[in-house]
Amino acid sequence: AVPMPFDKWYSASGYETTQDGPTGSLNISVGAKILYEAVQGDKSPIPQAVDLFAGKPQQEVVLAALEDTWETLSKRYGNNVSNWKTPAMALTFRANNFFGVPQAAAEETRHQAEYQNRGTENDMIVFSPTTSDRPVLAWDVVAPGQSGFIAPDGTVDKHYEDQLKMYENFGRKSLWLTKQDVEAHKESQEVLHVQR
């Protein structure tokens, strides 16, 4: 089912869920976008193949959802809407992937202060900047860290969670794209000799 308290919003909108998701994620943005496109109807650039309103007029469903929402929230929080506050949801970097398959020990789970409705890897690329010596500039942030390596003795790589705070604060790091930049910024080098 949709996580609380968002399940009430989906139920009130007529967009009910009938089964649990694979991980109980808080990422409701996809469902909200589907609902938005459904409300657009024929004006949506995405053809609407499923009638989420079950044949009822959209205005009727939306009005009923708003009335239900007002009734529910005013009973819980009072009639002053400035008191209607929802706690911020934390973003969890889980020990299992989106299929629910474990890929780390449970204690490797990491949390960020709040969910920000963006992926855990953010990239920015600029083509043809004004400096001709670097026709492409790029940055990224890969939370919680660049490396997920844990040695057999339990020692984590120095880049294990080095980007968690950077991600949380919308920071970024440069990507080195030229041989000169890579040489200038490399931490180590290992040469593999392949015998043929």
Instruction: Dig out the tokens for 14 from the structure.
Output: 């007529």
Read off the CATH number of the domain in which 20 is found.
1.10.1400.10
Domain match, 76 and 30 both: yes
172 lies in a domain? Answer: yes
Amino acid in position 180: Q
Local confidence band at 193 (pLDDT 50, 70, 90 cut-offs) = very high
Of 62, 83, 104, which one is at a domain's C-terminal end?
A: 83
Domain match, 77 and 127 both: no
139 lies in a domain? Answer: yes
| Of 140 and 118, the one with more pLDDT | 140
Which of 17, 59, 20 minimizes the C-alpha distance to 41? 59
Local confidence band at 117 (pLDDT 50, 70, 90 cut-offs) = confident
- Number of domains forming the structure of the chain: 2
| Full residue range of the structural domain in which residue 71 is found | 6-83
92 lies in a domain? Answer: no
Local confidence band at 23 (pLDDT 50, 70, 90 cut-offs) = very low
Domain match, 10 and 62 both: yes
CA 168, 10, 112 angle in degrees (round to 5)? 15
pLDDT tens figures, 50-102: 888 889 998 898 899 889 889 988 998 899 998 888 777 778 888 887 777 88
Question: For residue 155, is pLDDT > 60?
Answer: yes
Specify the pLDDT at position 191.
Answer: 94
Lowest-pLDDT range, 10-24, 46-60, 144-158?
10-24
Domain match, 127 and 61 both: no
| SS3 of residue 110 by DSSP | strand
Which of 82, 89, 65 minimizes the C-alpha distance to 15? 65
Span 137-160, mean pLDDT? Answer: 91
Of 83, 102, 127, which one is at a domain's C-terminal end?
A: 83
Task: Please give the helix or strand (H or E) that residue 62 lies within, else none.
Answer: helix 58-77
